[in-house]
Amino acid sequence: MWQQHLVIAPILIPLFAALLQLLPWGENPQRYRRLIGIVACILTISAAVTLLLQVHQYGMQVYAVGSWQAPFGIVLAVDRLATVMVLLSALLSLPILAYACYGEDNLGSHFHALFQFQLLGINGAFMTGDLFNLFVFFEVLLIASYALLMHGGGKLKLRACLHYVLLNLAGSALFLIALGVLYGTTGTLNMADMAGKIAALTGDEAALARAGGMLLLVVFGLKAALLPLYFWLPQAYTMTTGTVAALFAIMTKVGVYSILRVFTLIFGETAGAASLLGYQWLWWLGLATLLIGAIGVLGSRDMRMVISYLVVISVGTMLTTLSIANERAVSAVMYYLIHSTFVTAALFLLIDVMAMQRGKTASRIVSGRKLAQHSLVAVMFFAAAITIIGMPPLSGFVGKLHILEAARVGDQANWLWPVVLGSTLVIMVALARAGSKMFWHTLEGKAGDTRSANGQLVAVMVLLSAAVLLTVFAQPVTAFTDAIANDLYQPQRYIYQVLGGSTL
């Protein structure tokens, strides 16, 4: 009985946790709020794991909210892709929240509730099977992110946040226009139903639907930080606090997920006049994003900025590979997505640790004093760096190998190989320079005396251990991402499950 309702648990748990955290908790509210947050994260992880096992064993789960059947009501359609993304966000949230509990959550009010609302929006966006509901969950995660971005306050954050908010407001308006166009032409908002109806469109209606689809690509490109729309990202991620930046490692992935979902299901190969819409654009813009990201990494003088541009590079890599449009490419993208989310988050937290211990020089790439926990932090930085660069033996290497392998045949290799390998070299140069400047060329004299709490270091290590686990269990993980890719390229199964066979 309860298993049937398990599907909605990753949305309900953060929601109730956030509501509980908003209650006045008396003298020392932060203690209770932390406890609720950690418990909620653990519950979400266990729900996500159970869901993953269920979906893997029995196939896709469809949850009709309020028992209104698709296509009339809103459904949550949870397939392998959705569960993996939910599990990823849940696994990411726990160490980040634990890290934040060592003081960062005191910088502003309601950090914990906002954190849970953010997770609620992210999980909802991953699970919904309805385009308008996707918009609503996007707004939920956005409004939480607006407030989180301002956590701690300050002029610089204010400026970055203003840009971010205004851009995303314009993005939301475009999203609504796209939805209006698609609803006007197909008469439905359910993704599965729309996929069936779009294939039947001809003439003017098909042209309108294509325009709507391209608008959706712009909106998701803004969320994912694709080339002409990425300018908000480096400022926002650099200015905000370490934990928020680490949590935002999953935010660009929401955009990538949406592109993956909508452009394989609705505008996939079977979509008639609108089939494989936008893939050309994705390919070239993705490559350009990679290049710009590499230039950004080289030009940054602040470690946070470097990591922000690494996020841009990873988005470019994923979207370019995705636009190759075959199962192997999608499988490679999924592996790379999981890997890059964990490692980017770990790096953001690690830079936060370094900035705190270095004192005045903070995260700028200049010689500073020795850290209090110098060798430990240096080893962690080294591990994270070789993972994000893509050097053996850790998961970055496996991920890049998959991506290069996916593009091995055909013309794609001529473009993708040089750009991906070139950007790898650039990242290596930039990180080697930064690492040697910050860890080896330290100033003479006493080391700093600000030590980080052990719990904070453990949180970073847990995130980094994901890279090790992804390498050790590369085979089963790849088997699973292969299954995801297989699902995505059989959209008729998804459609059949959601619509209950009623229209087929």
Partner 1 sequence: METLFAITVGMLTACSVFLILRGRSFPIVVGITMLSYAVNLFLFSTGRLVLEGAPIIGNEKPITDPLPQALVLTAIVIGFAMTAYAVILAVRARGEIGSDEVNDLDHSDAEGQR
Residues that bind partner 1 (CB under 8 A): 132, 136, 139, 142-143, 146, 150, 152, 154-159, 161-163, 165-166, 169-170, 172-173, 176-177, 179-181, 183-184, 189, 238-241, 301-302, 304-305, 355, 361-364
What's the min distance (Å) between Cβ of 236 and partner 1? 11
Beta carbon nearer to partner 1, 31 or 441: 441
**Helices 155-186 and 191-198 meet at what angle, rounded to 10?**
50
What's the min distance (Å) between Cβ of 165 and partner 1? 5
Beta carbon nearer to partner 1, 70 or 165: 165
Exposed/middle/buried for residue 187 (C-beta within 10 Å: 0-12, 13-18, 19+): exposed
Q: Of the candidates 344, 340, 338, which has an alpha carbon nearest to the alpha carbon of residue 481?
A: 338
Tokens standing for 222?
């803004």
State the Cα–Cα distance between residues 268 and 261, nearest whole angstrom. Answer: 9
What's the min distance (Å) between Cβ of 59 and partner 1? 30
What's the min distance (Å) between Cβ of 139 and partner 1? 5
What's the min distance (Å) between Cβ of 425 and partner 1? 25
Beta carbon nearer to partner 1, 241 or 424: 241
Beta carbon nearer to partner 1, 154 or 500: 154
What's the min distance (Å) between Cβ of 484 and partner 1? 31
How far from chain centre, in Å, is Cα 397? 20
State the Cα–Cα distance between residues 387 and 474, nearest whole angstrom. Answer: 14
Characterize the bridge pairing of strands 61-64 and 75-78: antiparallel
What's the min distance (Å) between Cβ of 232 and partner 1? 12
> What SS3 class is residue 364?
strand
Contact residues for 80 (Cβ-Cβ < 8 A; gap 6+): 52, 55, 56, 60, 480, 483, 484, 487
State the Cα–Cα distance between residues 11 and 354, nearest whole angstrom. Answer: 34
Q: Of the candidates 373, 354, 362, 348, which has an alpha carbon nearest to the alpha carbon of residue 464?
A: 348
Query: Do residues 160 and 240 make contact, with C-beta atoms less than 8 angstroms apart?
Result: yes
What's the min distance (Å) between Cβ of 149 and partner 1? 10
What's the min distance (Å) between Cβ of 143 and partner 1? 7
Exposed/middle/buried for residue 445 (C-beta within 10 Å: 0-12, 13-18, 19+): exposed
* Whole-number Cα distances in Å, 164 to 120, 272, 307: 20, 36, 18
Beta carbon nearer to partner 1, 169 or 200: 169
Question: Which residue shows structure tokens 């209006």?
Answer: 180
What's the min distance (Å) between Cβ of 77 and partner 1? 19
Beta carbon nearer to partner 1, 425 or 443: 443
Contact residues for 343 (Cβ-Cβ < 8 A; gap 6+): 384, 387, 388, 395, 396, 463, 464, 466, 467
Beta carbon nearer to partner 1, 31 or 159: 159
What's the min distance (Å) between Cβ of 153 and partner 1? 9
Query: Do residues 247 and 475 make contact, with C-beta atoms less than 8 angstroms apart?
Result: no
Residue type, 379: V
Beta carbon nearer to partner 1, 240 or 331: 240
Query: Do residues 172 and 159 make contact, with C-beta atoms less than 8 angstroms apart?
Result: no
Beta carbon nearer to partner 1, 56 or 163: 163
Beta carbon nearer to partner 1, 25 or 146: 146
Beta carbon nearer to partner 1, 157 or 370: 157
Other C-beta atoms closer than 10 Å to the C-beta of 58 total 9
Query: Do residues 290 and 317 make contact, with C-beta atoms less than 8 angstroms apart?
Result: yes
